[in-house]
DNA sequence: ATGACCATGTTACATGGA
């Protein structure tokens, strides 16, 4: 029963204890991290060595972005960047071959900074992501996409009034491209198992968590082979309730193999 | 009823985040 998980840590160097506690609570087989906010060589590999997980970090100078994968099952890193734009040096994407398929960990651009050019970058990035997924689905490769998508897919995926309608996380163009991903044949795992609720995965710092004024922006998307085997999915809100937490909570899913 | 964050880089703010 392999478990996959995603966790936007909002600085890995500030969140090592939280990460260790999450690993102990959930023991995911593969965990994808976002917003490392450090260079690759600054990733706290030594502090995490005791967990026994294999680590692969993709950092970036300047304290922005950054993704990583941790595994206790064998995995092979297949890419450290999203194809489709040679000049794109953001550390937002890592892929591995594992569990008989290919799995992407991603940190999608927020799209609220940099004006319309920044928003266009987000939309282009989503189209490149769809191309990456389509290529694998066309070959019937089992695929999972996990990460911080920075999109609330529907109005049910954020607390009323939590964001203005002009925000890049809820703009129709962003939502249309998220739907385009689903229309390739991917299943939104959390939505599939919890259709009536829409568990949030992010709460702003301050009173938002206590009042449950949150957003659902961290997602796990599964190709049909794995969606059929989806046996559990949830949000680890315990991580968000800890001291000095990330503003995101981890999302996990369990696949019923064999 | 009201108020109200955090992280980085660089050094008292600016920027990004969502």
What is the CA A16 to C1' B7 distance in angstroms? 15
> In the 3-class helix/strand/coil scheme, how is chain A assigned residue by residue?
CCEEEEEECCCHHHCHHHHHHHHHHHCCCEEEEECCCCCHHHCCHHHHHHHCCEEEEECCCCCCCCEEEEECCCCEEEECCCCCCCCCCCCCEEEEEECCEEEEEEECCCCCCCHHHHHHHHHHHHHHHHHHHHHHHHCCCCEEEEEECCCCCCHHHECCCCCCCCCCCCCHHHHHHHHHHHHCCCEEHHHHHCCCCCCCCEECCCCCCCCCCEECCEEEEECHHHHCCEEEEEECHHHHCCCCCCCECCEEEEECCC
Q: What is the mean pLDDT of residues A5-18?
A: 97
Read off the pLDDT band of A258 (50, 70, 90): low
Residues A141-169 have pLDDT tens digits of: 999 999 999 999 999 999 999 999 999 99
Our measurement of CA A141 to C1' B3, in angstroms, reads 51
Mean pLDDT (chain A) is: 96
pTM of the model: 0.96
CB atoms within 10 A of CB A108: 25
Of residues A93, A184, A182, the one with CA closest to residue A140: A184
The confidence score (pLDDT) of residue A103 equals 98
Give the residue ranges with Cβ < 7 A from strand B. Answer: A 8, 10-11, 13-14, 35, 37-38, 62-64, 109-110, 112-114, 118, 148, 150, 169, 202, 204-207, 215, 217, 244, 247-248
Helix axes A115-138, A172-183, angle to 10 degrees: 10
**What is the third-level CATH fold of A3-255?**
Deoxyribonuclease I; Chain A (3.60.10)
The larger pLDDT score, comparing residue A132 to residue A63, is at A132
pLDDT digits (tens, 9 = 90+) for A27-86: 999 999 999 999 999 999 999 999 999 999 999 998 899 999 999 999 999 999 999 988
Q: How many CA atoms lie within 13 A of A114 on its CB side?
A: 10
Nucleotide in closest CA–C1' contact with A247: B6
- Chain B positions under 7 Å from a protein CB? 3-9, 15-18
pLDDT digit string (tens) for A203-220? 999 999 999 999 999 999
Distance, Å, A104 CA → B5 C1': 30
């Amino acid at each position: 029963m392999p478990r996959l998980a995603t966790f936007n840590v909002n600085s890995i160097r500030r969140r090592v204890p939280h990460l260790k506690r999450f690993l102990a609570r959930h023991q995911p087989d593969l965990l994808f991290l976002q917003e490392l906010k450090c260079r690759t060589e600054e990733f706290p590999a030594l502090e995490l060595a005791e967990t026994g997980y294999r680590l692969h970090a993709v950092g970036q100078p300047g304290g922005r972005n950054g993704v990583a994968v941790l595994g206790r099952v064998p995995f092979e890193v297949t890419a450290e960047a999203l194809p489709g734009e040679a000049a794109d040096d953001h550390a937002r994407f890592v892929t591995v071959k594992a569990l008989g398929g290919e799995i992407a960990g991603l940190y999608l651009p927020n799209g609220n900074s940099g004006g319309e050019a920044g928003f266009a970058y987000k939309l282009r990035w989503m189209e490149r992501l769809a191309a990456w997924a389509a290529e694998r689905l066309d070959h019937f490769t089992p695929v999972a996409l996990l990460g911080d998508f920075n999109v609330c897919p529907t109005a049910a995926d954020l607390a009323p009034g939590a964001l203005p309608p002009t925000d890049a996380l809820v703009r129709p163009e962003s939502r249309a491209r998220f739907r385009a991903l689903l229309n390739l044949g991917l299943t939104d795992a959390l939505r599939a198992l919890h259709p009536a609720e829409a568990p949030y995965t992010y709460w702003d710092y301050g009173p938002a968590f206590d009042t449950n004024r949150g957003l659902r922006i961290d997602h796990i998307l599964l190709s049909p082979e794995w969606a059929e085997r989806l046996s559990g999915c949830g949000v680890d809100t315990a991580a968000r309730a800890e001291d000095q937490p990330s503003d995101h909570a981890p999302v996990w899913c369990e696949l019923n193999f064999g």
